[in-house]
Structures are given as structure tokens and as C-alpha cells.
Amino acid sequence: MFTGIVEELGTVAAIEEQGDALRLSISAQTVLEGTGLGDSISVNGCCLTVTDVTDGTWTADVMAETLDKTSLAGARPGDRVNLERAVTPQTRLGGHIVQGHVDGVGEVLRRTPSEHWEVVEVSLPPHLAPYLVDKGSITVDGVSLTVVEAGDESFTVSLIPETLARTTLGSRAVGDRVNLEADIIAKHVEKLLQSGVHTRKQD
């Protein structure tokens, strides 16, 4: 589990194609502190398992399912990526509950700069629309953000200078693809309502 607060920008060091999978190596510093084999790190919002750590670089195997459903299929050496280690019981929950399980891929539609922030509009796969509400939470490339306006086909977020400077969202151009994860609480609520489960008051 993650919080959507990016710890550092890493760099894709190498990609080894393996047919229906690939081996991804990423250069980093902060996220390697205390990290061992089998630990989880979020890469642009995708939860990956550390399979090797060598001299400031860590490696993960990316399976076909992840390549089919996320933007990691288009990763190239030199790309910058958002990184976050999995939370611990002592971690501050600065964002919201993030699983690192991407629900869909959106596209940057528009960027509107202002003096102190930038409003970014992102396309929204239809199946995710029910989970977004104004002032609710959404994860974009692993970054926990507050929805400004939620529509049926797109949504907007307002990015502060800190987010623009410390994450890849500062450099995402119109047309770029981004990984999206909806709020897990909204998904559980929907499932409960659909199942007709009711709770009874205790006497």
C-alpha cells in the first residue's frame, strides 16, 4: 500500500525485453534506503516487486498484465519516473490510500498555467467516471491528487509548484499517457451497494 506522495524521481536505466514481459531497471537513491529483495516500490503508480539491487539501481519484472493495462509498456531508457516505497505502520498518510493497482490509462488533454499553480485536464476511461467526485481523490502516475472537477469523460486537477517540481506531472505534455487509480473506498462502496448488503444495528 502507498500514500501517493512521491519520494523521488528515478530514471529508467535499462529495459530488457522478454517477449510477453520485460525487466525494468531504475536508477534511484532515496527509495533504495532500507529496501531489499521482495519489497514493493510504486513506479508511476504501478506496484512493482524488487528483484535485484545493484549500485544505485534496482530491477523489477513487469508482466504482460501490467504492460497491457499501464503506460509502462511505453517506457524507454532515460525516462523519469515517480517512485514511492510501500508504507509502514509509522508512515504519515499524507495523500490517500493507494494500492498501486492501475485501473486505467488517461491522456493529458490540456494544461492551463496560472501564476501559482497549473490546472491539468486528463481524459477518463468511462468505467472510472462513477468513482470520481469533485474534491475527491485520484492517483495520477502514482501522485495523490484532489479532483477539481469530475466529468463523464475527463477530470481536472490543480498542481501546486511542489508537485510540478518534484514529480513527472510537471513535464507531462498534452497527448502523454498517464496511469490512473481510483479511490479504493469508492470501489468498495459501489460493490456493497450493488450486492444489497445491509448492516443491522446492535441491540
> For the segment 30-51, what is each residue's pLDDT rounded down to a tens digit?
999 999 999 999 999 999 999 9
Q: Which residue has the cell 534506503?
A: 33
> For the segment 133-165, what is each residue's pLDDT rounded down to a tens digit?
999 999 999 999 999 999 999 999 999 999 999
Question: How sure is the predictor about 201, in pLDDT bands with cuts at 50, 70 and 90?
Answer: low
Residue 82 has pLDDT above 70, yes or no: yes
Better-predicted residue by pLDDT, 202 or 183? 183
Burial class (CB in 10 A: 0-12, 13-18, 19+), 27: middle
- pLDDT value at residue 199: 55
Question: How sure is the predictor about 198, in pLDDT bands with cuts at 50, 70 and 90?
Answer: low
For residues 152 and 149, give the distance between their C-alpha atoms in angstroms, rounded to a whole number. Answer: 10
Q: Is 155 helix (H, G, I), strand (E, B) or coil?
A: strand
Please state the rounded mean pLDDT for residues 12-18: 94
Residue 70 has pLDDT above 80, yes or no: yes
- pLDDT value at residue 33: 94
- pLDDT value at residue 110: 97
- Give the 3-state DSSP-derived string for 64-82, with helices as H, strands as E and coil as C: HHHHHHCHHHHCCCCCEEE
Q: Is 136 helix (H, G, I), strand (E, B) or coil?
A: coil
Question: How sure is the predictor about 95, in pLDDT bands with cuts at 50, 70 and 90?
Answer: confident
The grid cell for 168 is 513527472
